[in-house]
Each structure stands twice: as C-alpha cells, then as structure tokens.
Structure 1
Amino acid sequence: MTNPTNSTPTRVRILLCDDHAVVRAGLLALLGSAPDIEVIGEAGSGEEAIAMTRKLRPDVVLMDLQLGPGIDGVETTRRLVADRAPGATAPHVLVLTTYDTDADITRAIEAGATGYLLKAEGPEELFAAIHAAAGGRTALSGPVAGRVMAQLRSPAPALTARERDILGQLSQGLPNREIARALFISEATVKTHLRRIYDKLGVDTRAGAVAAANTRRLLG
C-alpha cells in the first residue's frame, strides 16, 4: 500500500487471529521485523476477531482456520467480509493455516478470503502475501495454487452444504437414523440427500460415496 500524495510506503495494519498464544507470539515477533507491517491486535477466537475488527478496522486479518470452541476461521471470514460499516470497506482476510485439503481451500475462498497461505511458507512469502492481500490481490501458496488449478481443470461435484454435512456423518459409519438425529432432520430427508449425493458422485452405495469423497478430497 502506498500514500498517493508522496508515494511514501504506509504500514499495512494487521489483526492476528489464532487460538494458540504461542503461534500469535511468534507471528508478532516475525511481523515486527517488517517496517511496513503493523500488528494492531490479536484475537484468540472468531468471535473476538469480529469484535476487534469492528473496533480497530485493520487492513488485513491474518486468519487461522481451526479456532477451537466457537465459530471456525471460515465462518469468521464470511462474517468479516459481510460485516462492513456504512461507507467502510471490509478488511481483506488472508488465511494462514497448516490445512491444505481441497475442502478447506474451497470453503475459505467461497467465504471471501483474499488469500490462502500455508504456515510452512517463509517470512518473505508471508510479507509479500500480506501486501498482496492489502491491495486486494489474490495470494496463494504454491501447493494451494496447484490444487486450485487442478480443481478448475477437473471440478469436483458441487455438493450443497447439507450434502457435505451428511457425507461427513456417513464417513463416520452412522446409519440414517443417527445422521437424522445429529443434523435435526428426518430420516426421509436424509434418504433424499443420499440419493442426490450418489447421483453427483456416480456411485450407488454408502461405501462408494465415502470412497469417492475421499478420492476427490470432498471431506475436510
């Protein structure tokens, strides 16, 4: 980000969101070494990140996906992107995580994340991704970019959120009655969703559906 009046670099204001205090401390120390990045707050949960974002208005929220009890990083991202004050711009969300499954990447991008970075990346890659995100540009780790391209070339069947829920329950070996109870729906509704899942995955058995989902990385 630059100042349009004199082209002097301005600091990118960052809010950290990670449920591990040690991770936040490490990021704080690392980002403190970058003269053009300023950490203005730390959140240990999604709910805290939302509250702090409303108050501090960071340029970028550095978001972990797994946040312990409460809403996860994907839902937090979705709410942050949607929760913009009148006349204000929603912050850009840069996911920083160890998880790189197709399901996680797809959910984060669909929720509105500007970028998706893996924690295995080096400091310079992180700094560059933060500046890219602050400018509204997409920032993806190499492996993540590869997965995104693979999905574009051979897209996975488009399952609804409810179908993914049922598929997740199915992968645990639960019968229809237990799935219905867990998701607060009727057994008839479970059967209807299962037929649609089978059609989309090109299978005709429960085991086949789980195997296809694992092969296509539809389960997180």
Structure 2
Amino acid sequence: MAEEEAEAGGSDAGSEEVLLTPAQLIRSLEQAWMNEKFAPELLESKSEVVECVVEQLEHMEENLKRAKGGDLKVGIHRMEVERIRYVLSSYLRCRLRKIEKYFPHILEKEKTRAEGDPSILSPEEFAFAKEYMANTEAHFRNVALKHMPPNLQKVDLLRAVAKPNLDSFVFLRVKERQENVLVEPETDEQREYVIDLDEDSQHLIRYKTIAPLVASGAVQLI
C-alpha cells in the first residue's frame, strides 16, 4: 500500500483537514461501512472518505501495473485492492437501499436540518433521492391517482412510507468510555435509568439510545 498520507476533510467547508495514513483511511471506511450496515437509519455521509479511498485505489492500481509479474507481493496487493473495492461498493449500495426505502423521511430531515449541521446525503445522493421521489410520485399519479376523484388525487409519502425503526436493538463495541448514558424503559412499569459503557465492552441496546454515540464515533456497531 502506498506510504503517502491521504487528506480527509470535515463535513463543513470551514472545518480543519485531517491527515490520514492509507491504513487509517481504510479503517475509517470499514467503520463507516459497519455502522451503515447495522444502523436502522441513514447515517451522515462520509463522502470525503469515499473520495479519498477512490483516489487511493487508483494509486494502488497504478503501482500494481508497474510491479513485476509473478511477484507474490503483487498478488497479495491485488487481493487487498479487491477487498477495499468490495467494502466501498457495499457501503454505497447499503446507503442507496436506505434512500430508496426511506426517501421521504430522509429528504424531510435534510430540508429541516439546522444550518451548519452536517448533511446525511452527499450531493449525488441528494440528487438521486429527489429524482427517486419525483419518479415515485409520477408513477402513483399515472397508475392510480389520475383515475380517482379530485379530492383523492394526492398522496402523503411521509405517511405512506414507513419510517426507520429507531427502537430496534443493535450490537455495539465501545471505543471510548461513556458515563451516565440514559436508557429509556421498555415497559410502562419500568423507569428510566443510566448506565456506564466501559471501553472495549460490547452491548445489545436500543439504537436510539446510542445514536449520538454512533455519530460521534464513540461506539462502533458490530
């Protein structure tokens, strides 16, 4: 793998750039992939990481073209390139599946987010989500709505499409110790209580309880 550092910037234009080694960059992609696979909602876009990984893959492939054929190291490096490419494509496919499944809620969240908050969609994903919604509305209109009475020719996609289930349970590993994490009761007879999450400990817990910790990188979904 190449030795030079890759730059991965923050979500905001004014944020400081963070320099990552290629190994750290790949770990960042793998962590984003695992979190996206197991989180019930669409997470913040890691478009900077994706762009840097694509550049790194191109650089690695150029190095492979210049390497001597028959060298065992070449085969190992080629397998690593394919592994990284699989993780990258799986991460992007997972995000697209969530956009297709929850597009009205994702676009509504994007529309109502506070100024300065990071976007959960990359520019390309945002364009895809808007086009997907427009095509869905057009399909409903052409197939069914235009044949119905005028007062029934509208459909509320926010109500028609299911929301992500934030009450679902997820497995996680704690990367940074967390104290006084508030846990909501599962039944009316129970009361709220707080727990401490020790570093490197693993837990099964309701997603919405630890969603901010996933966003901050304090915990890793597994």
If the TM-score is normalised by the length of the shorter chain, which range does it land in?
A: under 0.3
Relative contact order, higher structure (CA 8 A, sep 6+): 2
- Give the TM-score of the pair, scaled to structure 2: 0.25
TM-score (norm 1): 0.25
Give the greater-gyration-radius structure (CA). 2
